[in-house]
Structure 1
Amino acid sequence: MTNIPPDKIIAWYRANARDLPWRAPGTTAWGVLLSEVMSHQTQVERVAPVWREWIERWPTPEAFAKAPTSDVLRAWGNLGYPRRALRLRECSLAIVEKHGGVVPDDVDELLALPGIGDYTARAVACFAYGKNVPVVDTNVRRVVARAEHGRALGTPGKKELAEVADLLPRRGGPAFSAGLMEFGALVCTSKAPACEACPIAARCAWLAAGRPAPVARPRTQTFAGTDRQVRGKIMRLLRESESPVEQSRIDALWPDPAQRSRALFSLLDDGLAEQDERGYFHLPR
């Protein structure tokens, strides 16, 4: 018998779900796919306004596939990890060329698209098409580890995916999957879980065990002073410049020449920046 009754999670979700734009009735599978890729490692509050702009500007994969790369990278703004924007464009091209401009509903076909991993493929199949497939992100992993096993953290893997699949109800699976993710994001959080507001607290194995701490705490990824921060500064300069940028303007962004050079050339290697015949830098066209 599960410690996570689907009816309780679904009821909680219907009463407490955040009003996110991609949850509105009529959102297309393309809109769902965009939201999932944008939300990866990025807070949904930051994603929402960008998503609205994108879905209005590029409402279909075909419209997005025609967009200049420079426009895509500028529209991506400060969401972080801009390579995701390039992969989205590759994905839209594949959807147009191989699926007639329609986002596929099959998990394996979704996995075959550029930049689409196991989580995103299942999320699109579930939330856009109502397929009763397990969708496992960090939030779901944490809820299941705590409620079912009394552990603070879950362990990614196929076994975990099968376990979540076993939790799915025959009816209402997509609502349960969305609710489980939302529950982990709002109640069963990593640092300050609201156990007093938890509808399944009476059955939670983690609470019963005295809320044990993780055996090994995950290391928090730093940002300040990293190559990623330098890359972000250079990308912002390129996005905001109407003409190609000379080297001296990039040099003024960061004091360490070795790190600055490393960051700049990694952007060139990733296809996020280009250098013209004069030695100036600009976004890909």
Structure 2
Amino acid sequence: MPTTLAADVTAWYARAARDLPWRAPDAGPWAVLVSEVMLQQTPVRRVLPAYQAWLRRWPTPAALAADEPGDAVRAWGKLGYPRRALRLHACARAIVAEHGGTVPRELDELLALPGVGSYTARAVAAFAFGLRHPVVDTNVRRVVARAVHGRGEAGPPATARDLAEVTALLPADTGEAVRFSVAVMELGALVCTARGPRCGECPLIARCAWNRAGRPEYSGPRVRPQRFAGTDRQVRGLLLDVLREGPGPVTRTALDAVWSEPVQRERALGALLADGLIHRLPDGRYALPR
């Protein structure tokens, strides 16, 4: 009897999966939620030390909620996109206030948490609570685009379409669906990569529509890659580093010293203030949020 795509991917995962702490049987829902927030647009190798340090300091939502948001921003370090730290702190406080300190399991409750979007809510529901939900990230979209549709790239995301396509691949059994969800994500991360896919190692090579078509070049719409050097994002990071690495509030002179172009520096500083990542004190100095 022919196997399904899901069965092939799950069998591969059973022998090839990375040993990651948030996949451990005793990793609770809070640990899964923290990992999913940290892993957004950030590779595993950078997340691991920050994740471990974070859970040592804040093993529960209540522990994080009891500290200041600035503590979360400081601990976030150089993971990038530091607004995620503020959102995770706000999420912890909402979990304490609205759910008695326990991460909720239902999708609508997860979606209602601050900073928790469609992907994160479904990932936590599936990986922390074993519920049957489609979990769609960039890696999953790439596998589906190649194996099912014969396209070398997934192109721009379309949430409703992407969820429907992955739902159609989910096994009916809930446990098998959860295993497939993590397995197909791992396949995209390790084998069916954006650049240099290792097709010879892929469990789907015989059924992959892209491989059968001769792996044609992708000619559809693309998601433009984000550059970093010289951007406002880089300047915001440099300014925030001054505050994270110092013992307390800093002067404007200390901030001005990290970027020489005044217009861009002012724009970046204004964005940090607007996002709530830093505050201007009455004496004119700047500090992490409280």
Match of 1:156 among 155, 158, 161: 158
Contact residue 153 and residue 194 of structure 2 kept, 8 A? no
* Contact 1:110/1:121, CA 8 A, preserved across alignment: yes
3-state SS of the aligned residue for 1:224?
coil
Distance in 1 (alpha carbons) for counterparts of 2:69 and 2:149: 46
Whole-angstrom distance in 2 between the partners of 1:199 and 1:101: 41
In structure 2, what is the equivalent of residue 278 of structure 1?
283
Q: What is residue 58 of structure 1 aligned with on the other side?
A: 58
**Cα 1:187–1:3 shift into 2, 3 Å:** farther
**Superposition pairs for residues 1-285 of structure 1, below 5 Å?**
5-154=5-154, 155-171=157-173, 172-215=176-219, 216-285=221-290
The one-letter code sitting in structure 2 at the alignment partner of 1:168 is L
Give how far 1:225 is off: 0.3
* Native 8 Å contact 1:8 1:200 kept in 2: yes
**In 2: Cα distance, 1:60 partner to 1:249 partner:** 35
1:3–1:204: 8 Å Cα contact kept in structure 2?
Answer: no
Distance in 1 between the 2:152 and 2:3 partners?
15
Per the alignment, in what secondary structure is the counterpart of residue 129 of structure 2? coil
Residues 74 and 244, structure 2, Cα contact 8 Å, conserved in 1: yes
One-letter code of the match for 1:185? A
Q: Show CA shifts across 1:33-92 (max 9, x none).
A: 000001001111101111111111111111111111221111100011111111111111
Task: For 2:133 and 2:271, locate their aligned partners in 1 and report how far apart those are by CA, in whole Å.
Answer: 37
Using the TM superposition, name which of 129-138 and 168-177 deviates more: 168-177
Q: CA deviation at 1:3?
A: 9.0
Deviation for aligned residue 1:217: 3.6
- Asked if the contact 1:244/1:281 (under 8 Å) is kept, the reply is yes
| Separation in structure 2 between the aligned mates of residue 141 and residue 68 of structure 1, nearest angstrom | 37
Conserved? CA contact 2:239–2:258, under 8 Å: yes
Given residue 188 of structure 1, which amino acid in structure 2 is its aligned partner? Answer: C
1:22 Cα deviation after fit: 0.8
Name the stretch that deviates more: 244-253 or 197-206: 244-253
Deviation at 1:266, TM superposition (A): 1.1
- Tell me if the contact between 1:135 and 1:177 (Cα under 8 Å) persists in the aligned partners: yes
Equivalent-residue separation in structure 2 for 1:4 and 1:195 (angstroms): 18
In structure 1, the gaps of 5 or more residues are: none
Tell me how far apart the structure 1 counterparts of residues 138 and 270 of structure 2 sit (CA, whole Å): 32
Letter in 1 for 2:170: L
Distance in 2 (CA, whole Å) between partners of 1:52 and 1:239 is 19
Q: How big is each residue's C-alpha offset from its partner over 1:86-143, in whole Å with a ceiling of 9 and x where there is no partner?
A: 1111111111111111111111111111100000000000000011111011111110
Note if contact 2:28-2:128 (Cα within 8 Å) is conserved in structure 1.
yes
Kindly state the Cα deviation for residue 159 of structure 1 after the two structures are TM-superposed: 2.4
- Change in 2 beyond 3 A, CA 1:98/1:247: same
Check conservation: 2:142, 2:188, Cα contact below 8 A. Answer: yes
What is the distance in 2 between the residues matched to 1:3 and 1:204? 13
Amino acid at match of 2:203: P
- After TM superposition, where is structure 1 displaced by more than 6 Å over at least 4 residues in a row? none
* CA RMSD after TM alignment: 1.6
SS state at 1:128 partner:
helix
Deviation at 1:170, TM superposition (A): 2.4
Number of residue equivalences? 285
Using the alignment, how far apart are the partners of 1:218 and 1:76 within structure 2?
27
Percent identity for Structure 1 against Structure 2: 56
**Partner SS, residue 72 of structure 2:** helix
